[in-house]
């Protein structure tokens, strides 16, 4: 009788983490099927929180459906690529053309393809820490090595360019920048970006800049496209319709290459080969790009005082300010808050245990901070997409659970301290 055999997964997947849709999210789904209402703060999916894609984008798709039934060019339809070029040129970006723009099924697909076209076994990529975990995963899955540069809480999650340059080796191929940042909400200054560009130019590194949240900033924070500062190397800027235009389900993202693109001919050909092998990306939704980039930018209103995102962010700021257990740097951009649990107030805190307990006992779903490839375990991330009332309710539950955690561990520690006190009387 033959023994049962098991199909083994790739060794590469064993070290890949993506807790945003991992065990916690699966357990939340199970609880929902049992009838529990879960406050989900784990994912940046605007449609799940009642945000709508602008109507003119939906109409553009409907009106162009007859032209969207066949494959298009592997780089994307020309009107969409042209609109991306015009947007970049208006932002002061040099060296971009319709030939250096690739449209994909969301930026996630293009992150993978851009790295697959670049990396050979053991090549290194500088990735921020904390990072959006897809970046570290994609480097690993494409047989590269993610080398993390710290964006420390005490520096408002901004990178230190000198520390970044110290990590460059002969195997370093690319520098990843996420700005505005997910998960921290940091928006980097022009000075910081210029220093990062000079490092990349000095060492001839490809810059891969994730700017999917470029139209969502708060309280006067200014997003500077890093490609506008590049002259002597190549920068690939990633963006799309998912966040700023609340069209995550359309799966339309792009990467536009600028700077000294004449030096990247073979690389761009390799990337085009990969895009050709998947024929093309979603054609109907590409027709929404031109109107999106050239039309009314409603995200500016959402992120301004009185706008829904602004008010949700304010609800989180107020909740953390009143908390005995929490503190954070308010996000200057993007759709998230990255929140510290004060270890002096919450002994033996562990983000994974906390997130699971919070889900099981309080029915609030957050993402543990360690999921973003950081060495510390006293942070968690929440999205700002729920309305302010839901966020206030969620943080009331979070505060209650931290209070219970603190009291529980205080009771556990109490007997040991009493023994010490009693024994000291006999010295």
CB count in 10 Å sphere of residue 415: 9
pLDDT of residue 361: 97
Q: What is the pLDDT of residues 182-220, one digit of tens each?
A: 999 999 999 999 999 999 999 999 999 999 999 999 999
Taking the C-alpha atoms of residue 169 and residue 185, their distance in angstroms, rounded to an integer, is 29
CB count in 10 Å sphere of residue 128: 28
Contacts of 397 (CB under 8 A, 6+ apart): 39, 358, 362, 363, 364
357 pLDDT above the threshold of 70: yes
* Residue whose C-alpha is closest to residue 260's, from 236, 285, 241, 295: 236
Going across the sheet that includes 145-150, the strands are: 101-104, 253-259, 234-240, 206-210, 172-178, 124-129, 145-150
pLDDT of residue 262: 96
Average pLDDT, rounded, for the chain: 94
Strand partners, 367: 381
pLDDT of residue 415: 57
As a three-state string, the secondary structure of 29-64 is: HHHHHCCCCCEECCCCCHHHHCCCCCHHHHHHHHHC
Distances (CA, A) of 202 to 89, 125, 165, 199: 24, 16, 10, 5
What are the two backbone dihedrals, phi and then psi, of residue 96, each rounded to the nearest 5 degrees? -95, 145
- Grade residue 2 by pLDDT with cuts at 50, 70 and 90: low
The enclosing H or E element of 149 equals: strand 145-150
- Using the Cα atoms of residue 312, residue 317, residue 320 and residue 322 in order, give the sign of their dihedral: negative
112 pLDDT above the threshold of 50: yes
Taking the C-alpha atoms of residue 264 and residue 271, their distance in angstroms, rounded to an integer, is 10
When computed from its CA atoms, the radius of gyration of the chain, rounded to whole angstroms, is 23
301 pLDDT above the threshold of 80: yes
Number of H helices, E strands in the chain: 14, 13
The count of residues in the chain is 427
235 pLDDT above the threshold of 60: yes
**All domains of the chain in start order, with CATH:** 11-51+301-416 (3.90.1150.10), 61-294 (3.40.640.10)
Q: Which of 188-197, 284-293, 387-396, 411-420 has the weakest average pLDDT?
A: 411-420
Taking the C-alpha atoms of residue 75 and residue 373, their distance in angstroms, rounded to an integer, is 32
411 pLDDT above the threshold of 90: no
Structural tokens at position 245: 């235009």
């Amino acid at each position: 009788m033959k023994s049962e055999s098991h199909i083994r997964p790739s060794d590469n997947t064993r070290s890949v983490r993506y807790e945003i849709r991992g065990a916690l999210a699966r357990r939340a789904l199970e609880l929902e099927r049992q009838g529990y209402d879960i406050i989900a703060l784990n994912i940046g999916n605007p449609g799940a929180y009642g945000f709508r894609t602008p109507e003119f984008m939906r109409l553009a798709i409907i009106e162009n459906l007859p032209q969207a039934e066949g494959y298009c060019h592997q780089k994307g339809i020309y009107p969409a690529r042209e609109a991306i070029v015009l947007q970049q040129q208006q932002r002061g970006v040099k060296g971009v053309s319709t030939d250096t723009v690739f449209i994909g099924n969301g930026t996630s697909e293009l992150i993978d393809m851009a790295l697959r076209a670049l990396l050979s076994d053991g090549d290194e990529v500088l990735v921020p820490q904390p990072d959006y975990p897809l970046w570290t995963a994609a480097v690993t899955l494409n047989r590269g090595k993610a080398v993390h540069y710290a964006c420390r809480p005490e520096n408002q999650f901004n990178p230190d360019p000198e520390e970044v340059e110290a990590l460059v080796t002969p195997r370093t191929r690319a520098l990843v920048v996420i700005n505005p940042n997910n998960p921290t909400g940091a928006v980097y200054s022009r000075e910081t970006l210029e220093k990062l560009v000079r490092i990349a130019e000095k060492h001839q590194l490809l810059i891969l800049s994730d700017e999917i949240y470029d139209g969502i900033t708060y309280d006067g924070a200014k997003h500077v496209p890093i490609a506008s500062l590049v002259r002597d190397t190549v920068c690939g800027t990633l963006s799309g319709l998912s966040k700023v235009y609340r069209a995550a389900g359309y799966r339309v993202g792009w990467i536009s290459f600028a700077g000294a693109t004449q030096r990247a001919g073979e690389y761009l050909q390799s990337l085009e080969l990969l895009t050709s092998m998947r024929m093309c990306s979603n054609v109907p939704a590409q027709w929404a790009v031109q109107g999106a980039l050239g039309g009314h930018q409603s995200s500016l209103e959402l992120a301004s005082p009185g706008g829904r995102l602004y008010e949700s962010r304010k609800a989180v700021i107020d909740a953390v300010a009143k908390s005995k257990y929490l503190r954070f740097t308010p996000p200057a951009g993007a759709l998230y808050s990255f929140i510290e649990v004060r270890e002096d107030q919450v002994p033996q805190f562990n983000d994974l245990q906390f997130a699971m307990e919070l889900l099981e006992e309080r029915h609030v779903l957050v993402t543990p901070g360690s999921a973003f490839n950081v060495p510390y375990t006293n942070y968690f991330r929440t999205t700002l997409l729920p309305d302010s009332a839901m966020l206030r309710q969620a943080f009331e539950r979070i505060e209650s659970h931290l209070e219970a955690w603190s009291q529980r561990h205080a009771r556990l520690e109490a007997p040991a301290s009493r023994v010490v006190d009693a024994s000291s009387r006999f010295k």
